[in-house]
A and B are shown apart, each in its own frame.
Chain A
Amino acid sequence: MKPQSMGQAVLIALALIYLASLYFMSSPVWMGFTINALIVAVVALAWNITGGFGGMASFGHAAMYGTGAYASAILQVQYGINAWIAFGAGIVAGAAMGAFIGALAFRYGLKGSYFALVTLAFAEVLRICASSFAITGGGSGLQLRLEPGLSTLQFNDRAVVYTILLVIVALVMALTAWLKYSRFGAYLIAVRENEDAARALGIDTYRIKVKAMAISGAFAGLAGVLYLQVWLFIDSAVVYGSAVSIEALIGPIIGGAGTVWGPLIGTLGLHLLGEGAKHLLHNAPGLNFVLYAVVLICALRFLPQGLMGLAARIGTFRKKENDNA
C-alpha cells in the first residue's frame, strides 16, 4: 500500500486531500457526488481482484453488485429482516454469485473474451429476471422504508454516510493490500502471468480463480448493498445494468489495474472529469460515458499500467539498478 515513488505519493496525496477537503467544503452537491464515486470505487476494487490481479477481465460485475443489492433489499422489504443481517447477507450473496459464475466459467476453461462475454450474459439474464419477478418488485424495483437510525443503517447526515463509506473503502483497500502480499495474491498473479507455469508449480489454478471470483463478488455485493442503503431504492436497470459493469472496469484500468490505489484514484479521477464535463455541457445525458470511453482508449494505448504505473516512473524512491539493461 506504500507508494514506491514521488509520483505515486503525490497522486495518493491528491486523492486524500480531495477526500478530506469535503469535510470543510460543506457542499452537499460535492458530497453526494463523491458518495456515488466511492460506491463505484468499491465495485472497481472488486473488479480489480479478478481483472487486475487475476487478469480475468469481467464485463459483468453488475451480476454480483445487483445480487448483493437485491438480496439485501428482498430480505428487508419482503421479509422484514434487520438491515444489519441483510447487509451481511448481501455480501454473502454477491460472493456466492461470483463463485457460481466463476465455477461454471472456469470449469469449462473460459478465458479472455469468452469470459468477458459470459459474465456480461449472466448480468443480462439477471437483469431481465429481476425486472420480471414479483419478489424483486418487477419493473418498479424495491424501495426501503425511510427509517433513519443505527439499526436500519440509514443516516440523514450526509457527512456520516460519507465517513462510513470512507472507512469501508479504506477497509476494502487494506484487504486488497493484504491479499496482494499473501500466498493467495502471489498465486493469483502467477495465474495471470502464466497459467501453465502456475499449474506446474503446484497451484490449483481452478480453485484460485473461483476463490478470486468469490472475493471479488463479496466486494461487489458490498458495493450493491451500500448503494441500496444510501439511496434506499433499486431497480433492475440501476443495479444489474451494464453501466455498473463498465464503470467497474474503467476506473481500475485508468488508475492502474492490479494496484491497491489504482481503482480508487481512477474512479475518483473519472468521476471528477465526468462531473466537470457535465457542468460545461449543461447536464447532457450520457456524455460523461463518452468522455470515459475516450479516456479508456487513450489509457489502453498510452498508459498500459494506468496512472499508478505512470506515477511509479516519476521520482522513484529506491533507485533500482539498470531495469532496462
Chain B
Amino acid sequence: MLEVRNLSKSFGGLKAVDNASLDVPEGGIVGLLGPNGAGKTTCFTMIAGFTKPNKGTVRFMGRDVTGLPPHRICEMGMIRTFQIVQPFAGLTVQENIAVGAYLHHHDRAEAMAVARQIGKRLGMGAMLDRPASSLTIAGRKRLELARALATGAKLLLLDEVMAGLIPSEVSEIVGIIRQIRDEGHTFLMIEHVMQAVMSLAETAYVLNHGKMIAHGTPRELVQDPGVVEAYLGHGAAARLQEGHHA
C-alpha cells in the first residue's frame, strides 16, 4: 500500500534521514522504531508531504505522491497524526472530528453525523459536546485518532500515539487500533512503548542516525544486536549476552 524508496533529507550538513526505504502492506500494522533523534518524525513529515525529501520516492496505492502537499495526500487517503496532540481547542470534540469529516462530506449536518458516529465508535460518546481543551491526554489521543479516521483515510501514520499514557490507557488504545485495523485500515506507527509495538505490529523497521538498520518481526528485532546497540549504546549487546551466560 505504501512504498518508500531511498528517502533522504538533510538539514544543513546533518543527514536527518539517509536512504530510508520501507513497505506497508494493506491491512497491516507496521512499526517504525529507533532511538530519539533517529529521524522517525522527519520520515513521517516527508511521507505525509509536510517537507519535501531531497531524494527518494513515496508511492501510495500505486501512485507517486512524492512532494505533493499534505492536503492532496490526505485526500488520497493517507494521514499523519502528531506526537504532541494538537486539538482545535476552541471547538467541541464533535466539531473537532467534523473538521476531519468535512474532507469528503461538504454538508455540515452530514459531517457532524459522521463525527458523532466515529466519536461513539472510539468510545467518546459522552464527551462529544465538551470543549476539546477539557480532554485528558488519553482523550486527546483518541480525538487525534478519531479526527484522522473521519477524513476517510485508509492509511494512518501514528506518531507516538501511546507516549505519555499509563498502562491501562495504553491497552485501551491498543484495543482501539486493533478494532480499526479489523475494519480495514492500515497503520504505520512510530512508537517508543515497546509493549505496544510487540502486541500490535506484525513487522517493524528500525531507524538509527537516519539509516534503516533492521527490519523484521518485533520479536526478531529485540534480539538483533545492532538494534540493541542503537538503543542502549555501543557494546550493550555483548554485555547483555554476557549477563545471560553468567
User: Which residues of A approach B to under 8 Å, CB–CB?
Assistant: 181-183, 186-187, 189-190, 192-194, 196-205, 258, 320-321, 323-325
Task: Give the chain B neighbours of A323 by CB distance below 8 A.
Answer: 130-131, 134
Interface size class of B (residues with CB under 8 A): 20 to 34
Task: Give the chain B neighbours of A190 by CB distance below 8 A.
Answer: 88, 91, 99
Q: How far is the CA of A183 from the CA of B111 in the complex (A)?
A: 9
Selected from B79, B107, B134, the residue in CB contact (under 8 A) with A201 is: B79
Are the C-beta atoms of A199 and B88 separated by less than 8 Å?
no
Are the C-beta atoms of B134 and A200 separated by less than 8 Å?
no
Task: Give the chain B neighbours of A325 by CB distance below 8 A.
Answer: 134
Q: How far is the CA of A202 from the CA of B151 in the complex (A)?
A: 8
Q: Which residue of B has the minimal Cβ distance to A190?
A: B99
* New A-B contacts (17) at CB < 8 Å, excluding given A192-B90, A194-B86, A201-B147: A181-B108, A183-B108, A186-B91, A186-B99, A186-B111, A190-B88, A193-B88, A199-B69, A200-B48, A200-B74, A200-B80, A200-B81, A201-B74, A202-B75, A203-B99, A320-B129, A321-B130
Task: Give the chain B neighbours of A194 by CB distance below 8 A.
Answer: 86-88
| In the complex with contacts A183-B106, A187-B102, A323-B130, A201-B151 CB distance below 8 A | yes
User: B50 contacts the other chain (Cβ, under 8 Å)?
Assistant: yes
Within 8 A of A (CB), among B21-40: none
- Pairs A-B, 7 closest by C-beta atoms: A202-B74, A193-B88, A197-B86, A202-B103, A204-B71, A183-B102, A199-B70
Selected from B79, B91, B130, the residue in CB contact (under 8 A) with A189 is: B91
Q: How far is the CA of A197 from the CA of B98 in the complex (A)?
A: 13
Are the C-beta atoms of B70 and A200 separated by less than 8 Å?
yes
User: B89 contacts the other chain (Cβ, under 8 Å)?
Assistant: yes
Max chain A CB contacts within 10 Å: which of B80, B90, B131?
B90
Selected from B86, B102, B130, the residue in CB contact (under 8 A) with A186 is: B102
Task: Give the chain B neighbours of A196 by CB distance below 8 A.
Answer: 50, 82, 86
User: B100 contacts the other chain (Cβ, under 8 Å)?
Assistant: yes
User: B191 contacts the other chain (Cβ, under 8 Å)?
Assistant: no
| In the complex with contacts A187-B99, A187-B102, A190-B88, A199-B50 CB distance below 8 A | yes
A259 to chain B, nearest CB (A): 11
Q: Which residue of B has the minimal Cβ distance to A191?
A: B88
Task: Give the chain A neighbours of B131 by CB distance below 8 A.
Answer: 323
User: B95 contacts the other chain (Cβ, under 8 Å)?
Assistant: yes
Selected from A183, A186, A193, the residue in CB contact (under 8 A) with B89 is: A193
Task: Give the chain A neighbours of B48 by CB distance below 8 A.
Answer: 200
| In the complex with contacts A183-B106, A320-B130, A198-B99 CB distance below 8 A | yes
Q: How far is the CA of A199 from the CA of B103 in the complex (A)?
A: 11
Task: Give the chain A neighbours of B82 by CB distance below 8 A.
Answer: 196-197, 200
B17 to chain A, nearest CB (A): 19
Are the C-beta atoms of B147 and A189 separated by less than 8 Å?
no
Q: Which residue of A has the minimal Cβ distance to B157?
A: A200
Are the C-beta atoms of B99 and A201 separated by less than 8 Å?
yes
Task: Give the chain B neighbours of A198 by CB distance below 8 A.
Answer: 88, 99
Max chain A CB contacts within 10 Å: which of B48, B80, B99, B102?
B99
A258 to chain B, nearest CB (A): 8
Q: How far is the CA of A197 from the CA of B143 in the complex (A)?
A: 12
Within 8 A of A (CB), among B137-184: 147-148, 151
Are the C-beta atoms of A186 and B79 separated by less than 8 Å?
no
Q: How far is the CA of A204 from the CA of B73 in the complex (A)?
A: 11
Q: How far is the CA of A324 from the CA of B131 in the complex (A)?
A: 10
CB-defined A-B contacts under 8 Å, sample of 19:
A181-B108, A189-B90, A190-B99, A193-B87, A193-B90, A194-B88, A198-B88, A199-B70, A200-B48, A200-B50, A200-B74, A201-B148, A201-B151, A202-B71, A203-B99, A204-B69, A258-B90, A321-B130, A324-B134
Q: Which residue of B has the minimal Cβ distance to A205?
A: B71
Task: Give the chain A neighbours of B95 by CB distance below 8 A.
Answer: 186
Q: How far is the CA of A199 from the CA of B147 in the complex (A)?
A: 12
A203 to chain B, nearest CB (A): 6
Q: How far is the CA of A203 from the CA of B100 in the complex (A)?
A: 9
